[in-house]
Amino acid sequence: MSIIVTDQGFETFEDPAQWIPSDHTIDLSSDTDPARLPDLLSGMELVRVDFPSFADGRGFTLARLIRQHGFQGHLRAKGHVIADQYAMARRSGFDDVEIDADLAARQPEDQWLARADWKTHDYQARLRGLAA
């Protein structure tokens, strides 16, 4: 079972085919060569970037590069992203995060929702005095 984390909370899917248009979806590893992005992203609607470990931040950089290459489709972080990283995932360009049921049990929805107001509470906004 997969859990999709959004700014509104958890969505559960028993069958990933419910939300993956397979002919317009690509899964990228965190070590994908950025020079290959233009070719890899062509015609894609959903890009999922794998996070093999919560300590591996390369996926955040890859997300930013994907958006800088002009990708307008749906960008999803998949794997070992923890609730504390949700705001960073959203700021780097991800639309949502896909986690497994075990992680969702260890870090329930309320922990993710506590970080869902990622636009207001970012570090740079606080420095500029823009956040409450």
For the chain, give every domain's residue range: 2-128
- Tens of pLDDT, residue by residue over 59-71, are 999 999 999 999 9
Question: What is the pLDDT at residue 18?
Answer: 60
CB distance 47 to 77 below 8 Å: no
CB distance 6 to 19 below 8 Å: no
> Is the CATH code 3.40.50 the one for domain 2-128?
yes
- Count helices and strands in the chain by DSSP H and E runs: 6, 6
Question: What is the pLDDT at residue 13?
Answer: 76
pTM exceeds 0.75, yes or no:
yes
Looking only at the bridges linking them, the beta strands covering 96-100 and 25-28 are unpaired
